[in-house]
Structure 1
Amino acid sequence: MDKTADENGTERRALIAAGVTVLLWASAFVSIRSAAAHFGPGALAFGRLLTASVTLGLVLLVKRVPPPPRQAWPGILGSGVLWFGLYMVTLNWGEQLVDAGTAAMVVNIGPIVIALLSGWLLKEGFPPMLLAGMAVSFAGAVVVGLSTSHGGSASLGGVLLCLVAALTYGAGVVSQKPALKYASPIQVTTYGCFIGTAVTLPFAWQLADQLPQAPLAAVLNMVYLGLFPTALAFTTWSYALARTTAGKMGATTYAVPAVVVLIAWVALDEIPAGLTLLGGAICLAGVAVSRMRRRVASRA
């Protein structure tokens, strides 16, 4: 009884942390759209990661957190290069070449990549409810994409960049999961940020060139991206990922498009079409299905 209550409590805390992540990652799309007009893809990624690295580094110094153990470094390196580094640059770049709807559809291949890789490499298996929920959520993401897509504006290069972003996101998450067996969420996130910052360091000159010309609002959006959708949200993500499977966490991110629609509605006064709302509802329904436990009826 106590063990079941403890498991339920852990699952609930993980779900709350995942919810914080989804909310902040959804808000990032609004901030990126505002800042992207003034910063190049690499410059924006570098500024965002540098802000997060400084913030998280100070937290580690104040708390006197030691470096991660040797066993955690392969996963930290993999997630730092693939997710914190390449993903952020390619996503920023891809969204400059395709409309938001097309980008949402392509990037939402990421959770499918996570489910397949984690089922194979991490031996998490392929739970039927998880696969069913992902199918439902992906259908919802397609509906959202179609409802917000402007026909004919997508370029092959932009689609390929978004596809690379989806693949690096999925592979980065699967790389990160084993590291959490040996290191704390804040260690994994902080050192992943350090590595991502190093990967994007070649864009430092571009940021230095664009920063003086950028309006204050764009600079504040970049700082916000570093503090909240990166430093905080990636830490809450790692906390939740350490307490559940990579497949379930990947499926949870399907809620992001639905939350983006709501934030854009409130913050930007962009009234979503009925088809967009329907797609968002389908995404959320799929997330709920993916987190259900399959019940097997037994009769005496």
Structure 2
Amino acid sequence: MEQTDRRALIAAGVTVVLWASAFVAIRHAVLSYSPGALALGRMLAGSLTLLVILLARREGLPPRAAWPGIAVSGVLWFGIYMIALNWGEQEVDAGTAAMVVNIGPIIIALLSGLFLAEGFPRRLLIGMAVSFTGAVVVGFSMSEGGGASVLGVALCVVAAVTWAIATIVQKPALRHASALQVTTFGCLIGAVVCLPFAGQLISQAAEAPLSATLNLVYLGVFPTALAFTTWAYALARTTAGKMGATTYVVPAIVIVMAWALLGETPTWLALAGGALCLAGVAVSRRRAA
């Protein structure tokens, strides 16, 4: 059991690092690709990567019992979430987007307590409160000021809600199918949802610089194909509430990556917020004595 817990923790760690790197890649890609085109390109790159791995491992179609969860999570998370987040980040500054989207783990904890019988562990709730405070502090430190776009905030709320619901329906599907199967077919369904943007993707890919297209492919292969599979692997081995809380590590990692890769020196406020995020995750995942 301890070895399984360690593997799940490592898988969760891979997920949060790659999801953090996605914020850096998206910053470059959205300069050349519209929200829908970026989502479709990311899903196509991710689907192709996952299909190759699925065939290499000789895993077939998921059992029938897994399909409802795969279908719903595919539409909501791999489809609507991706479009809403890309669009929302064009309408509001990064700080506002980070603060709004980070209500997602809180919704996950509430829904998992109500529908997955996970309850409401005191340590989890305290840890999430600390981490959310840290995310808000990070958001304020990144905010550009001025009035926030109502449309942008609404899109970020849509992203948070679809992520939360998708997590809750994905968890039962993982009892019947492997993490690779759930992720592969969810990604394929997401690509189908994004197909209306195929024309935009083709025209924009013809004009986009190579660096932007490479960022799009990176988003599909690593933060999507690999990170969503490690997420599903870890989710199958822990509670949805704890997995949601773990994602509060992302803002802290984004600060470090932006510092190292983009030369964006963090403020003391950002560092303090990142420390709160990490402290909250540590509390939420700590076992009761």
Residue equivalent to 2:236: 242
Contact 1:99 1:153 in 2 (8 A): no
C-alpha distance in structure 1 between counterparts of 2:281 and 2:182, whole Å: 26
Normalising by structure 1, what TM-score? Answer: 0.95
Match of 2:286 in 1: 292
- Runs (5+) with no aligned partner, structure 1: 1-6, 296-300
Give the Cα separation in 1 of the matches to 2:123 and 2:287. 7
Pairing 1:99-138 to 2, within 5 Å after superposition: 99-138=93-132
What is the match of residue 25 of structure 1? Answer: 19
1:264 to 252, 258, 264: 258
Q: What is the SS of the residue equivalent to 1:126?
A: coil
Counterpart Cα distance in 1 of 2:133 and 2:208? 38
Moved more, 151-160 or 251-260: 151-160
Partners of 2:55 and 2:233 in 1: CA distance = 20
**Partner residue in 1 for 2:30:** 36
Unmatched tracts of structure 2, length 5 or more: none
Query: In the alignment, does 2:56 pair up with 1:56?
Result: no
Alignment partners' CA distance in 1, 2:256 and 2:57: 36
> Residue 119 of structure 2: SS of its match in structure 1?
coil
Name segments (4+ residues, structure 1) moved above 4 Å: none
The answer on 1:183 being equivalent to 2:166 is no
Return the letter of the residue paired with 1:145. G
Structure 1 residue 294: Cα displacement: 2.1
2:158 to 154, 160, 164: 164
Q: Cα RMSD over matched residues?
A: 0.7
Offset at residue 153 of structure 1 (A): 4.8
Alignment partners' CA distance in 1, 2:256 and 2:147: 24
Aligned: 1:75 with 2:74: no
Aligned equivalents of 1:79 and 1:53: distance in 2? 15
1:204 aligns with 2:177: no
Report the number of matched residues.
Answer: 289
Amino acid at match of 1:199: V
Counterpart of 2:90 in 1: which secondary structure?
A: coil
State TM-score, norm by structure 2. 0.99
Amino acid at match of 2:97: A
1:97 matched residue in structure 2: 91
What is residue 283 of structure 1 aligned with on the other side? 277
Larger Rg, first or second structure (1 or 2): 1
Contact 1:98 1:153 in 2 (8 A): no
CA contact (8 A) 1:31 1:225 kept: yes
Residue number among 216, 220, 231 corresponding to 1:222 in the alignment: 216
Report the residue type matching 2:284 in the other structure.
Answer: S
Match of 1:13 in 2: 7
**SS of 1:81 mapped into structure 2:** helix
Q: Distance in 1 between matches of 2:195 and 2:62?
A: 23
Distance of 2:173 and 2:135 partners within structure 1:
30
Cα deviation digits, residues 208-259 of structure 1 (max 9, x gap): 1111100000000000000000000000001100100000000000000000
Deviation of 1:62 (Å)? 2.1
C-alpha distance in structure 2 between counterparts of 1:56 and 1:150, whole Å: 38
